């Protein structure tokens, strides 16, 4: 068995099985697969799970000779489409390690071998990267820095990687996991109804005493998650209420700071203020601005996008948090042409109902 090349023969056993779930991903799949086919220095196979695509996804995948294309079983009641696809991919895979990666990712040359070496060096049964984010539209550039800054605060990579910390997280766009550990915790079949399957899998791994390594991984993989406002809105609506324990409080706090900063900035320009008050108000604006700026430093974005996030991203993020809460309160979440009824969570529903009044004001 040759472990030095990327070409996988039919009778050899791959070290890594790369599993790519894909549902209507013709806009990004070709770049993803080309970057995976070109990986060197580790024997690997690529399995694309075509999850009922109605566009050119399957044709693109089948056009590459080194890519195996399969279809999942019919979607069982209560399961999410992605989990069903990942279960099928894992069942078809032959590698000692499994790499679950999304169809909108692009992988740096040599990253697969380096990732495997990193997992072994740190004795990690599961290694996950938060990919470098590609932002093109104004929506992406304003909102993504805020989202990822807040995620970094909620799930600090050092604590996630610390076996003594209860905090567990992963990014489903890039999860490398040892097959033995994956099967030991039940794999995606154990969390088949979860709309936040990456964090759910990480929690099972940590609860089982398996070591997790999690870090920002722009050196290995980059992604453009959403290409327009409807995709971005629906994608974060699906996730945000599950990612933050008190989304309503977070939305209210950030929105209040943002409004306060703008209010203090604009107040001195109003004629109602006296001669000295404008200077006092101008000084006060520093406090909320510094607070918001400090939070954005965790985002791993360039300074100009962090500035854009500070100026316009916070109210958008608050809106998405509250929209996500309302969707879960109503018990219906939509994604990629499917509608899911999440498992009942009384505390989440209570929080969502509390946030509905603020959301309605924003909607109007």
Q: What is the CATH number of the domain that holds 95?
A: 3.90.550.10
Which residues form the domain of 42?
Answer: 16-131+171-227
pLDDT at res. 38 = 93
Instruction: Give pTM, 2 decimals.
Output: 0.86
117 and 218 in a single domain? The answer is yes
State which of 205, 227, 249 marks the end of a domain. 227
Residue 201 lies in a domain: yes
Pair 223, 249 in one domain:
no
Is 161 part of any domain?
A: no
**What does the pLDDT look like over 81-125, one tens digit per residue?**
999 999 999 999 999 999 999 999 999 999 999 999 999 999 999
- Shared-domain flag, residues 209 and 285: no
Quick one: 117 and 48 in the same domain? yes
Does 5 fall in a domain?
no
Same domain membership, residue 348 and residue 201: no
Answer yes or no: do 125 and 204 share one domain.
Answer: yes
pLDDT at 307: 84
Low-confidence ranges of the chain (pLDDT < 70): 1-11, 264-290, 343-364
Please indicate, yes or no, whether residues 36 and 98 belong to a single structural domain of this protein: yes
User: Is 209 within the bounds of a domain?
Assistant: yes
Q: What is the pLDDT of residue 171?
A: 97
For residues 210 and 260, state if they share a domain: no
Q: Is residue 162 part of a domain?
A: no
Q: Pick the last residue of a domain from 227, 245, 260.
A: 227
- Residue 91, exposed/middle/buried by CB under 10 A (0-12, 13-18, 19+)? middle
Query: Considering 212, 227, 242, which residue would you say is the last residue of a domain?
Result: 227
| Whether 325 and 179 share a structural domain | no
* Number of domains within the chain: 2
pLDDT at position 2, please?
Answer: 34
pLDDT for the residue numbered 308: 87
Does residue 166 fall inside a structural domain? no
Q: How far apart are the first and last CA of the chain?
A: 63
> Within this chain, do residues 213 and 87 fall inside the same structural domain, yes or no?
yes
Whether 56 and 101 map to the same domain: the answer is yes
Closest residue by Cα to residue 333 from 144, 80, 52, 150: 80
Q: Is residue 9 part of a domain?
A: no
Q: Is residue 138 part of a domain?
A: no
Q: For residues 167 and 151, is the Cβ–Cβ distance under 8 A?
A: no
- 288 and 194 co-located in one domain: no
Nearest to 345 by CA among 331, 356, 363, 359: 331
């Amino acid at each position: 068995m040759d472990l030095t090349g990327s070409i996988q023969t039919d009778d050899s056993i791959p070290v890594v099985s790369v599993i790519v779930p894909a549902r209507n991903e013709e806009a990004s799949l070709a770049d993803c697969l080309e970057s995976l086919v070109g990986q060197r220095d580790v024997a690997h196979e690529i399995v694309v799970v075509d999850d009922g695509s109605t566009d050119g996804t399957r044709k693109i995948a089948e056009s590459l000779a080194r890519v195996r294309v399969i279809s999942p079983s019919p979607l069982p009641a209560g399961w999410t489409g992605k989990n069903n696809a990942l279960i099928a991919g894992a069942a078809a895979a032959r590698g000692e390690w499994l790499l679950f990666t999304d169809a909108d990712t692009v992988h740096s040359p040599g990253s697969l071998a380096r990732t495997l070496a990193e997992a072994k060096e740190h004795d990690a049964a599961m290694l996950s990267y938060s990919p470098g984010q590609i932002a093109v539209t104004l929506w992406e550039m304003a909102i993504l820095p805020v989202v990822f800054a807040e995620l970094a605060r909620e799930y600090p990579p050092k604590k996630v990687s610390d076996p003594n910390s209860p905090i567990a997280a992963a990014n489903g766009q890039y999860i490398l996991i040892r097959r033995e550990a994956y099967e030991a915790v039940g794999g995606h079949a154990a969390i088949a109804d979860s709309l936040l399957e990456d964090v759910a899998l990480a929690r099972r791994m940590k609860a089982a005493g398996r070591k997790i390594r999690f870090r920002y991984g722009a050196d290995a993989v980059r992604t453009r998650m959403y290409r327009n406002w409807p995709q971005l809105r629906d994608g974060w609506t699906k996730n945000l209420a599950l990612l933050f324990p008190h989304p309503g409080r977070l939305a209210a706090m950030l929105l209040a700071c943002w409004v306060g900063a703008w209010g203090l900035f604009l107040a001195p320009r109003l004629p109602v203020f006296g001669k000295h008050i404008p200077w006092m108000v101008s000084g006060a604006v520093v406090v909320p601005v510094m607070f918001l700026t400090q939070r954005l430093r965790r985002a791993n974005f360039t300074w100009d996008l962090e500035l854009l996030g500070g100026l316009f991203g916070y109210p958008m993020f608050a809106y998405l948090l509250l929209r996500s809460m309302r969707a879960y309160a109503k018990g219906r979440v939509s994604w990629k042409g499917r509608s899911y009824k999440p498992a009942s969570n009384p505390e989440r529903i209570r929080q969502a109902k509390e946030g509905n009044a603020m959301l309605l004001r924003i909607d109007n």
